Amino acid sequence: MHNKAYTILLLTTLFWGGNAVAGKLAVGHVSPFALTFLRWIVALAILLPFAWKPLNRDWPQVRRNLPLMAMLGAIGFTCFNAAFYSALTFTSAVNVSIEQAAIPMVIIVLNFCLFQVRATRLQLVGFALSLIGISLTASHGDLSRLAELDINVGDLLMLLAVLFYGIYTVSLRFKPDIHWLSTITVLATSALLSSIPFLAWEYATGSLILPDLRGWMIVLYTAAMPSVLAQVFYIRGNELIGGNRAGLFVNLVPIFGTLLSILILGEDFYPYHAFAMALVFCGIGLAEYSGRKAMGAPPRVRAPVDGS
């Protein structure tokens, strides 16, 4: 069970790391809210042929839980991606990738505040290490800027996106026990509908950019990988090992996102980025070791090499 969870969560973070690069490549080729809207149209076109039968079977449970599932789709898919893609118009893909690793910290805090799910001491140490790494990234290597509130608006938007996804993750415990295809299809439909007001605002303010050829390629990638496969894998990972431990794997997004940003975008990589990545990587190692130990399983370290 653990090996299966690790594999699908590694693939999830690889696809999400690529999402940061795609969002940066989209600047000037498709506007953030147009991308958010269009990716869910394409995602639903992919999902519906496969999801129709299980969705019909699960519809009574879906109908009873429709407000909850609409909220999950709106917060976890629409609000997160709207803030995520908007952040990339102001800050680098490297920064966004590293800041995304704050999601596990938000999950741990919310689980404790709302459900009294206690973190272990090692998880708290991992939390602290990740917090320092995120702070270094958001302040561009100068922590004194935090005290002066001198932070790029893109970094602030990304931290808002982190809060949205943390809320989404801890709320997954309430989703009905239905087929995974039904779950992702209903959430994607909610995301599509809830993205319409954002798209309307973009149009009204004259900032709407319809996709060109590159824009459509980005729409297709974000629909197939981050929107469909990664979300399905993340939901399944939560089911297999729980929200606290599954959420910690999001700390691998900085690794994949940073490497892809350097290789594909040619973005600059500074020493504080390397230090921040080391901190968040140590954080996931400590926290996952603690999670396995708390469950009575012998810890086994596996290096995340290629997601296989």
Distances (CA, A) of 49 to 185, 233, 235: 10, 19, 20
Whether 298 contacts 138, CB under 8 Å = no
The pLDDT-based confidence of 244 (bands split at 50, 70, 90) is: low
Tell which wins on pLDDT, 31 or 237.
31
- pLDDT band per the 50, 70, 90 thresholds, residue 304: very low
pTM of the model: 0.76
302, pLDDT greater than 60: no
**Closest by CA position to 245, among listed 287, 191, 302, 199:** 287
Residue 296 pLDDT level (bands cut at 50, 70, 90): low
Share of the chain above pLDDT 70, in %: 84
- What's the pLDDT tens digit per position in 177-209? 898 889 989 999 999 999 999 999 999 999 999
Looking at every residue in the chain, the average pLDDT score rounds to: 82
Say if residue 31's pLDDT is above 80: yes
Mean local confidence (pLDDT), 279-297: 66
Q: Give the pLDDT confidence score for residue 150 in this predicted structure.
A: 55
